[in-house]
Amino acid sequence: MHIPDGYLDLSIAALFFVLTLLVLGYSIYRLRGERLTSLFGVLSAAIFAAQMLNWPIPGGTSAHFVGGALAGILLGPYAGSLAMAIVLTIQTLVFNDGGITAWGANVWNMAIVNVFLGYYIYRTFSRYNKNFAAFLAGWLGITAAAIFAGIEIGLSTSFAYGLSVTVPVMGVWHALLGVIEGIITAGVVGYIATRRADLLEKKEVGKTSFALIAALIALSPVFAYLAEEVGYAEPLEKAAEMIGLEEEPIYEGLFPDYTISGLDPYTGTLLSGLLGVLIVLALAYAVKYARGSRKDT
């Protein structure tokens, strides 16, 4: 479910960065004053380790646990979303599991949608049966996260498949695999309920905050659609236009419009590309030799 770099349009990636930072920022604000460093650290590591368990499923294949709903149930949605965001950040920065530009969307899906939805489903149904509530939270949380991922890549023009392909593929597949997520979440919650029921006590969330975050989650596909409508998939080129780089090429004298007079445009572009590579080469060697001035070498 981790979206790599290159699958999302930058407009959509930027939108989910903003939405994610808003919710994570608010979560940090809500948790201010609490000494939670070790809780985040150790429990994020625990979620990471639990994600490595490969659960066999009939047919010879296997699925792995994600743990978003469980993080919400155990830590509350604010701390849970931060713990999941930590896991996803490590996966991005160490294992390349999920792209840097897609970090916002990945955290939104798996650390915000999954955690908050899982938490509220659990809270709604736990008064009837804790195990069933945990199962629903795990199952629906992961399915919703997958559907959101499908919407994000389906709306992106960079990815050739549209919503009609991406949403069913992501949604149906994860709805099936999500059953295992639900069963394991129920198993974990059932065990903790018998040993340390205090950990499952209701966490304070706040009705207004809940309504706002729920609204953000519900409206995020609409925002994504609108961001796509704005249509700035190539912002750096727009920036180039704005600062006049295209109208006034830097090397106008040598390569007007990155072509060479007398040569066909393809050869001209090829030569200007090669010149660029030569300059990169020279600058890279300059970096290499500048290292000599560093004492730690």
Partner 1 sequence: MHVVLEKTLKNASSYFQNFFIHEYSSKSTLHSIDARIKLLGTFLFVILAVSTFEPKKLLFLLLSLILISAILGLSLKNMIRRVWLFPLFSFAVVSPLLLQDIGYPLLFTLRVLIAVIAVQMLVMSTSFADICSALRSLKVPEVFVHGLWLAYRYILVVFQDIINILLARESRRVARGSHLELWRKGGEAVGLFFLRSIERAERVQLAIASRGERIIGSKLQFGTLEAIYISLSAFVALWCIAL
* Residue ranges in 16-55 that form contacts with partner 1 under rule CB under 8 A: 24-25, 28, 31, 35-46, 48-50, 52-55
- At closest approach, how far in Å is the CB of 198 from partner 1? 11
Which region among 143-151, 205-213, 218-226, 283-291 touches partner 1 (by CB under 8 A)? 283-291
Q: Which residues inside 101-120 make contact with partner 1, applying CB under 8 A?
A: 101
**How many whole angstroms separate alpha carbon 178 and alpha carbon 139?**
5
Q: Which is nearer to partner 1, 215 or 280 (CB)?
A: 280
| Position 272 contacts partner 1 (CB under 8 A) | yes
Which region among 64-72, 107-115, 200-208, 217-225 touches partner 1 (by CB under 8 A)? 64-72
- Selected binder of partner 1 within 121, 151, 192, 227 (CB under 8 A): 192
Q: Which is nearer to partner 1, 37 or 261 (CB)?
A: 37
- Selected binder of partner 1 within 129, 196, 214, 218 (CB under 8 A): 196
The 3-class secondary structure across the chain, one letter per residue, is CCCCCCCCCHHHHHHHHHHHHHHHHHHHHHCCCCCCHHHHHHHHHHHHHHHCCEEECCCCCEEECCCHHHHHHHHCHHHHHHHHHHHHHHHHHHHCCCCCCCHHHHHHHHHHHHHHHHHHHHHHHCCCCHHHHHHHHHHHHHHHHHHHHHHHHHHCCCCCCCHHHHHHHHHHHHHHHHHHHHHHHHHHHHHHHHHCHHHHCCCCCCHHHHHHHHHHHHHHHHHHHHHHHHCCCCHHHHHHHHCCCCCCCCCCCCCHHHCCCCCCHHHHHHHHHHHHHHHHHHHHHHHHHHHHHCCCC
| Position 265 contacts partner 1 (CB under 8 A) | no
Q: Which is nearer to partner 1, 73 or 147 (CB)?
A: 73
- Selected binder of partner 1 within 127, 128, 195, 204 (CB under 8 A): 195
**Total interface residues for partner 1 by CB under 8 A:** 102
| Position 198 contacts partner 1 (CB under 8 A) | no
| Position 285 contacts partner 1 (CB under 8 A) | yes
- Selected binder of partner 1 within 81, 114, 143, 185 (CB under 8 A): 185
- At closest approach, how far in Å is the CB of 59 from partner 1? 10
Q: Which residues inside 217-236 make contact with partner 1, applying CB under 8 A?
A: 233-236
Beta carbons of 75 and 115 less than 8 angstroms apart: no
Q: Which residues inside 121-180 make contact with partner 1, applying CB under 8 A?
A: 158-160, 180
